[in-house]
């Protein structure tokens, strides 16, 4: 029998397809990469990347020679529960059950550099993470957890200096010398300006802070990772995988330059840089992204002439996707997280956090956190994945896809370089605009059922699921934190505190290392808010304009019965009211995650609404005032961090107080179903959870106006 070739396959495939054409099997990814139904050795003849060997440049196959065959990835569970004491209990339970490293989530008040008693954080204390006001809270957080033996990862960017200072001071209080402190501080402020928005200071002083931390840790904390360059929040904000890859590496380049400009030697800090990826549901794309990232970073760092090959190696933490978690048919999230965890492991991550299935509803319960943790333990202990290094290397499809990722990501990096680097690109709004466009396109495809999400737009459950959720009493936590704060301030030497705050202000104005002085300030019980305020006197507090894109959702949504119905209802409303329905989209409290708000704003505008967008971090009074001044029919509150139970009642009270009770209020985001009735009882007209179909929501909203 003669040897068969690709033409023989095409003939055979065409017979099986009958009336369908072969090119119907081709697929274009959201990144614009053309995927064929079949790959052969011809597809790996001219790769844009070098496959190489693990542990050796360009590290495509992993940063360690033996990878998981010698030591599996580190299992981290990202968590912070209201108070330091509660979080400490959770960490200790995790450590007893297979967790090998801690990953701390801070509450939004801490992220934004406010102490728990500040008037702007009434709904944010202890929500979405642990409240840290001083070194005393940090001492409680790690009580009984030896910091000379435990690796600690901290997701902190805005208030990174005072929080890291408190951590270091707490380690010293335990008797742990600086050189033995291990772990990672995220310290990635550039992505905050793009997507997550928990910044405090403007870009220029923020980059100085990054460099101060890199400088101090490289000299005095050799086992500590000074920065975790994060793509995670980009994908959470709607970025596709190519955007996440490109913009994260471009951020990395900017941090390299900042440290080098400080006079540091590249080999003194580059080996301690780490990365952080989101792992979503496009299985092979995620694996290819991680391999492409290692190759590309090696090529980027090579241009700075390092002598140590470890400077070329990209090490990464991964977390399964939060945005892929759905409120509808929530147990499906267990499966999604498992698939994403497998992609992270096969992609060669160094540590991993697996999300709990109920995080589309609320903070995880001990039950759901255990399932998430055990997902990793099963992958590590039962599957044989750890027995072979980079088992997918050489796959025709995967290597071709990796090269495509390299090519497409380099195009975006070139665009950034052409405008003068990432700081300049952020000032021009380029990455933010690209990511918001990607988010709108994806949502349009989901709403049009071109992209299937099981349990959401196809195979929907027929019975309601009751899921137990964790509920935090925000007021109780805040009162407890305020009480502890007052006790601290009455027992410390406030004259010494004032002296250190003046020193911080002086260092911010002049030369010197801000982390170094803040460690001394933290040891003397200066609070996170006080240290932040001292720097703010010099740097100012940064604000963003509330721009939205237009036309992208409308261009990508399929014309169907739902769209026809939206058009009919909009026209009917105009005929009745003499103008279009007008909605103000608001984010209240300190939650900077604005993907949902931006998506609703752009989509509803494309569907025919008049849209106003409030600035980030509004108070209820500020939101009510803007709604009244703009003469809106309805306020759409976007919430992800459990502040709705406090902030929405205050908003409705503010409207009534100003004789504007006729303005309707709706809520959307991560809201536990158990809270819906409470919101309806106080006057909320509609509540929409994750996975809501936007045209359907638009129709419901017009009907209540």
Which active-site residues does the annotation give?
A: 78, 232-233, 587, 591, 593
Give 368-374's long-range contacts (Cβ < 8 A, gap of 24+): 369/77, 369/79, 369/90, 369/94, 370/97, 371/334, 372/77, 372/337, 373/75, 373/77, 373/94, 373/97, 373/98, 373/99, 374/98
Q: Smallest Cα–Cα separation from 404: which of 60, 29, 33, 27?
A: 33
CA distance 99 to 374: 10
Residues with Cβ within 8 Å of residue 616, at least 6 apart in sequence: 197, 543, 544, 546, 587, 592, 594
For residue 13, how many other CB atoms are within 10 A of its CB?
A: 14
Which region holds residue 390: left if phi is over 0, alpha if psi is between -120 and 50, else beta? left
Q: Which residue from 347, 341, 237 is spatially nearest to 284, judged by alpha carbons?
A: 347
Task: Give the position of tokens 């904390």.
Answer: 221
DSSP-assigned beta bridge partners for residue 688: 668
- β-sheet with 686-688: strand ranges across: 610-613, 582-586, 634-639, 664-669, 686-688
Q: At residue 324, what are phi and psi to the nearest 5 degrees?
A: -80, -10
Gap between the Cα atoms of 226 and 269, Å rounded: 8
Run of H or E residues at 411: helix 396-418
**How big is the CA angle at 599 (ends 407 and 565), to the nearest 5 degrees?**
120
Longest CA–CA span in the chain (Å) reads 93
| Other beta carbons within 10 Å of 606 | 21
**Cα–Cα distance between 598 and 601 in angstroms, integer?**
5
Encoding tokens for residue 167? 């951590």
Neighbours of 184 (CB within 10 A): 25
Contacts of 142 (CB under 8 A, 6+ apart): 88, 150, 152, 170, 174
H/E run at residue 591 = none
The residues with which 687 forms a beta bridge, in sequence order, are 667
Q: In angstroms, rounded to a whole number, what is the distance separating the alpha carbons of residues 696 and 449?
A: 13
Beta bridge mates, 184: 153, 225
The whole-angstrom separation of Cα 516 and Cα 527 is 15
- Give the whole-angstrom CA distance, residue 142 versus residue 150: 10
Whether 601 and 632 have beta carbons less than 8 Å apart is answered as no
Task: Check: CB of residue 225 under 8 Å from CB of residue 185.
Answer: yes
The C-alpha atoms of residue 276 and residue 231 are separated, in whole angstroms, by: 6
Residues of the chain by 3-state class (helix, strand, coil), percent to 5: 50, 10, 35
Q: How many CB atoms lie within 10 A of CB 412?
A: 20
Q: How many Cβ atoms are within 10 Å of 24's Cβ, its own excluded? A: 9
The H-or-E segment that residue 77 falls in is strand 74-79
The whole-angstrom separation of Cα 161 and Cα 163 is 6
């Amino acid at each position: 029998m003669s040897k068969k070739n690709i033409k023989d396959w095409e003939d055979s495939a065409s017979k099986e397809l009958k009336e369908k054409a072969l090119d119907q099997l081709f697929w274009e990814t959201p990144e614009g990469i053309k995927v064929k139904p079949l790959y052969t050795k011809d597809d790996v003849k001219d790769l844009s990347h070098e496959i190489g060997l693990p542990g050796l440049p360009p590290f495509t196959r992993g940063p360690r020679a033996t990878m998981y065959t010698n030591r599996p990835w580190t299992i981290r569970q990202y968590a912070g529960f209201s108070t330091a004491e509660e979080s400490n209990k959770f960490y200790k339970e995790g450590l007893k059950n297979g967790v090998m490293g801690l990953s701390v989530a801070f509450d939004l008040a801490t992220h934004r550099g406010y102490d728990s008693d500040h008037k702007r954080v009434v709904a944010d204390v202890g929500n979405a993470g642990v409240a840290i006001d001083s070194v005393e809270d940090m001492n409680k957080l790690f009580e009984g957890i030896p910091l000379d033996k435990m690796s600690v990862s901290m997701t902190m960017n805005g208030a990174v200096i005072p929080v890291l200072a408190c951590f270091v001071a707490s380690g010293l209080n335990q008797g742990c010398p600086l050189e033995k402190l291990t772990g990672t501080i995220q310290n990635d402020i550039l992505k905050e300006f793009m997507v997550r928005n928990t910044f405090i200071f403007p870009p220029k002083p923020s980059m100085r802070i990054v460099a101060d931390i890199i400088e101090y840790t490289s000299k005095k904390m050799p086992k500590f990772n000074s920065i975790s360059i994060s793509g995670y929040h980009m994908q959470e904000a709607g970025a596709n995988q190519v955007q996440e890859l490109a913009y994260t590496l471009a951020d990395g380049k900017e941090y390299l330059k900042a440290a080098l400009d400080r006079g540091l030697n590249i080999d003194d800090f580059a080996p301690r840089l780490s990365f952080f990826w989101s792992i979503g549901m496009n299985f092979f794309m995620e694996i290819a992204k991680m391999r492409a990232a290692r190759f590309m970073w090696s090529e980027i760092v090579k241009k700075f002439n390092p002598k140590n090959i470890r400077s070329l190696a990209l090490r990464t933490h991964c977390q399964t996707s939060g945005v892929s978690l759905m409120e509808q048919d929530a147990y499906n999230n267990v499966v999604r997280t498992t698939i994403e965890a497998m992609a992270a492991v096969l992609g060669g991550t160094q540590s991993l956090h697996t999300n709990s299935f109920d995080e589309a509803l609320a903070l995880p319960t001990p039950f759901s956190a255990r399932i998430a943790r055990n997902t990793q333990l099963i992958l590590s202990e039962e599957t044989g994945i750890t027995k072979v290094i980079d088992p997918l290397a050489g796959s025709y499809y995967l290597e071709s896809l990796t090269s495509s990722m390299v090519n497409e990501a380099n195009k975006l990096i070139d665009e950034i370089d052409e405008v003068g680097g990432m700081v300049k690109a952020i000032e021009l709004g380029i990455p933010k605009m690209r990511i918001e466009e990607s988010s709108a396109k994806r949502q349009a495809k989901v709403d049009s059922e071109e992209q299937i999400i099981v349990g959401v737009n196809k195979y929907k459950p027929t019975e309601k699921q009751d899921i137990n959720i964790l509920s935090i009493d925000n007021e109780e936590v805040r009162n407890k934190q305020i009480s502890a704060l007052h006790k601290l301030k009455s027992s410390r030497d406030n004259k010494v505190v004032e002296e250190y705050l003046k020193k911080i202000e002086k260092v911010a104005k002049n030369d010197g290392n801000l982390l170094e002085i803040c460690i001394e300030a933290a040891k003397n019980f200066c609070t996170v808010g006080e240290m932040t305020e001292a720097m703010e006197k010099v740097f100012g507090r940064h604000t963003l304009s509330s721009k939205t894109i237009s036309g992208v959702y409308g261009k990508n949504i399929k014309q169907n019965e739902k769209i026809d119905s939206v058009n009919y209802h909009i026209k009917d409303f105009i005929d009745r009211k003499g103008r279009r329905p007008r909605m103000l989209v608001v984010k209240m409290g300190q939650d900077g995650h604005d993907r949902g708000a931006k998506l609703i704003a752009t989509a509803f505008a494309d569907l025919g609404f008049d849209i106003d967008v409030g600035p980030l971090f509004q108070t209820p009074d500020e939101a009510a005032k803007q709604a009244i001044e703009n003469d809106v029919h309805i306020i759409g509150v976007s919430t992800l961090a459990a502040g709705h139970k406090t902030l929405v009642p205050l908003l409705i009270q503010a409207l009534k107080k100003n004789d504007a009770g006729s303005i309707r209020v709706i809520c959307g985001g991560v809201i536990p179903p158990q809270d819906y009735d409470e919101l309806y009882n106080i006057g909320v007209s509609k509540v929409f959870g994750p996975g809501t179909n936007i045209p359907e929501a638009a129709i419901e909203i017009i009907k209540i106006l």
